[in-house]
Chain A
Amino acid sequence: MADAKIGAYVCKGCGLGDRLDTQALTAIATREGKAVFAKEHDVLCSAAGVEMIRKDIEAGEIDRVVLAACSRRSKTEAFNFDTVAVSRCNLREGVIWVQADTADARAATQEMADDYVRMSCAEVKQMIPPRGNEQAERNRHLLVVGGGMSGLTAAVEASRAGYPATIVEKSGALGGWAARLWRRVPARQPYADPQDTGVAELIAEVEADPNITVYLNATTTRTTGAPGRFAADITTESGKTVTENFGAIVQASGFTPYDATRLPEFGVGKSPDVMDQLGLETLAREANGSPIKRPSDGREVRSVLFIQCAGQRSNKPGHLPYCSGHCCNTSIKQAMYFKDRNPNVDATVLYTDLRTPGNGEDFYRSGQRKGVIFTKGVASVVQPANGALKVKFQDLILNQEVSIDVDLVVLATGMVANSGVDAEAAAKQEAWKDEGAGTDGAQNAKPEAPRSQEVSILNLDYRQGPDVPQLMHGFQDSHFICFPYETRRTGIYTTGPVRRPMDIAQALEDATGAALKAIQALENAAQGRAAHPRSGDLSFPSFHRDGCTQCKRCTVECPFGAIDEDERRYPQFNEARCRRCGTCMGACPVRVIYFENYSIDTVGQQIKAVEMPDETQEKPRILVLACENDAYPALDMAAMQRIHYSAYARVIPVRCLGSVNSIWVTDALNGGYDGVMLMGCQKGDNYQCHFVKGSELAHYRMSKVYDTLEQLQLEKDRVETHEVAITDIQRAPQLIEAMAETVKRVGLSPFKF
């Protein structure tokens, strides 16, 4: 690193030349930043400007580049130099657009720009151009766990895209629950009548496809490795195990119907004429198109009542708090089983809210046209009486207690995800107990106690647990808004009702998406590149083994289970599983984890490079560490709107607040900064953090920094951690302004040299 050859390029375009003394900036780059040379250019992003830089790189004169121009978020196409390390010195959005264009402001604006040039030079000096993992492998084979609608679809779609797939199905047949349906909710215009499930055709397609291998009565008993090099032990019922290699995994392990016997008030178990929706499918299949008969006495059903949300969308203990998303459409479909045969059968759907996703609204209308009666009401009791079922319910429109007799009752009971062992359940349980003590009294509805399933699906040989972590209610989603499809195990994609409750139509689409994401993951892995959100990033974490104390903090805190332990108990980084968030780097107490282009030093040296005015000058300095995914873009956008903020702020983008090592904060305070701000994404249950836990961890770690503040006898207000969303365009600059005010109030730091 000693012989870093830095070339600095200062742009005069976009008004930079008018507002700043660019010549002074080049001088700083060469004199203080130790750049080999510094060049000015009228429009750096122009073809000529880019060509100039390219030539310098090709001539071998430089191997590090400082682009003192616009934000790293603009002109990414033009400034794409992948053989060298690049630091984007943000003078446009970061300086001239957020400062007033007045004579008064001129000096402070220039100081800001000077500092950013110093910081960029310091950063790039510590950087090594990332090369990617050279041992990366390409394995094009996809493992699909589960042979239901989702699994079959994922395999077929992968195969059509030219990637072979292997299906591991635990039962003796393909098709899953869908194969047990009589008909499915229509997926085609005019969405009026139940249609064939299509399972048989799908199974036939899979069986005829030489690219797809099927294991029945089989489970994945051990899964090791990482994207591009997974190995799975597939064990069949007979006990025989084969080990195969895969590039990526699609987990389509589906759902288990909610156990209706938990609803004794609805007469489950007391009469065979009360059943769940799957029970009715069985009756319909038996009837095979002729009128459906009552199980109790074989008489044709003349009246049937469907009770929606049976044990769902309910806060009662043991019930499911969520909506399963398909039951309303399913009940409409099942009511049609009766109405289509005989319009004189009374079919009533008892609902509180009818939710018909997809094109269900048309289907609902069709049900109404066919004479299905929809009654808004809540059932309380179902009791067998005189060869009928007496149902008591509260009619919510007429506001009266009603009692009716029907032949058959069908309960819409919903789905429970087959997500396997919840490794975080124990931890969650603890947190849940603590929370019960009541940190915020406003929230009196206690969160649902996490469930834990005993049987693992994937049996991952990962240190952080044998299955994909769960987000809510046992579903294996990861980040609903920004990254649907992604799980927290890179290269493993869950799909279908194990990911979130869904119907067949959604599962088919979901499975297609999952297959494509899995393909993307294995292709990325083959090139040694990161998955989202730093897609294409070639850097990966390394560590200095000598310094490592084997504290395991990195292993535990990595949100993606990327780190195992080797046989000597040192962390073992699985680069293909890693998302390059740097959370491990932020966690390491001895600071031995680093990326080639992002390390304790690349940021630490930036912090130190800022020129610290002494006390007499009355110029405070505020360090802002802003998450590159939300907070930094928000500041950029504020700049586009010319929203000004304090010229005393120095903003450094970080991969994630999780990567912020408290040493940066401590060093900054010791170095004389008057305030330190961390800006990251929303944490907690509805987290928006792109790396799941980064923001949460940062908040936690910063709570420890307050001890340091106390030791240094500094005011607590000098360090702040904020949740900032990409939409906080007004708020983010305001926060900086507020910090400037705070500094004014508490006075300058006593640690100025």
Chain B
Amino acid sequence: MSDLNTVMVEKYRNDFLKEVEANVEEGKWVKMCMQCGVCSGSCPLGPFWEHPPQEVFMMIRAGKRDEILKSESMWMCTSCYNCIVRCPRELPITHIMHGLAHYAERLGLAPKQNPTRKFALMFWDNLAKAGRVNEPILGIKLYFMNGFKQGIQTALKMAPVGLGMLRTKRFNVLALLFHKGCKGKQDIHKILRKAREIELAKAAKFGG
């Protein structure tokens, strides 16, 4: 458990909802849910979630902090936006899902082996470093996400696709070796550092 996490537990022992409101992106919307269940009914992945969106919101209100933050649920969201389109209360449900996932990650509670989490980290890493996504590298890393053997297998399976892309100049092998990144890479890094600072300061305010 990170320090931040211990502080949060202490501070919001009785009111997880307030914690979510203060720290989760768009978290202030959770209390506005009227429990109609339209989101859960609309979510194409809903049936596979441990707790579909409506239930996630109810659990937050019921103070089920651990269950939610350690849950795989919000990591299931594919950002299809079906729920947002349909929610009669116009809750930004997709954003809340990502906010929750992000917050759980920050607290170190997110399920470590969750593939969505792994991919998200990988993507972020790739993007943040160069200021733009390097697709070949991201692709290869993705293949090897679950170990060397499986990576090779996946790569072989995808080879015809790769060759096809090569032929049609959709895929530049050289980028694997010489990745320049974007022009204002330094500035991007500055921006990201600043954002991180703001985020931590905000968290610290609530933590303090």
Contacts and interface: CB of A to CB of B under 8 A. Distances in A.
Contacts of B35: 374, 376, 397
Nearest to A373: B61
Interface string A356-379: 000000001100110101111000
Nearest to A361: B34
B14 interface: yes
A397 B31 contact: no
Interface stretch (B51-59, B151-159, B184-192): B51-59
A398 B59 contact: yes
How would you classify the secondary structure of chain B's contact residues: helix, strand, loop or mixed? helix
A395 B55 CA distance: 11
A611 to B, nearest CB: 65
B176 interface: no
Interface string A395-426: 10110001000000000000000000000000
Contacts of B62: 375, 395, 398, 402
A397 B34 contact: no
A346 B63 CA distance: 12
A4 interface: no
A381 to B, nearest CB: 19
Contacts of B32: 365, 368-369
A387 to B, nearest CB: 17
Contacts of A395: 58, 62
A430 to B, nearest CB: 45
B31 A371 contact: yes
Chain B interface size range: 10 to 19
Contacts of B17: 371, 373
A375 B18 CA distance: 16
B15 interface: yes
A354 interface: yes
B14 A397 contact: no
A375 B62 CA distance: 8
Contact of B14 (A346, A354, A364, A374): A346
B62 to A, nearest CB: 6
A368 B31 contact: yes
Interface string B1-38: 00000000000001101100000000000011011000
Given A375-B61, A398-B55, A369 B31 contact: yes
Contacts of B34: 354, 364, 368, 374
Contacts of A376: 35, 58
B55 A397 contact: yes
Interface string A114-145: 00000000000000000000000000000000
A574 B46 CA distance: 68
Contacts of A369: 31-32
A139 B59 CA distance: 64
A364 B89 CA distance: 12
A395 B34 CA distance: 14
Contacts of A346: 14-15
B58 A398 contact: yes
17 contacts: A346-B14, A364-B34, A365-B32, A369-B31, A371-B17, A373-B31, A373-B61, A374-B35, A375-B58, A375-B61, A376-B35, A376-B58, A397-B35, A397-B55, A398-B58, A398-B59, A398-B62
Interface of B: 14-15, 17-18, 31-32, 34-35, 54-55, 58-59, 61-62
Given A373-B31, A375-B62, 11 more contacts: A346-B14, A354-B34, A364-B34, A365-B32, A369-B31, A371-B17, A371-B18, A374-B61, A376-B35, A397-B58, A398-B58
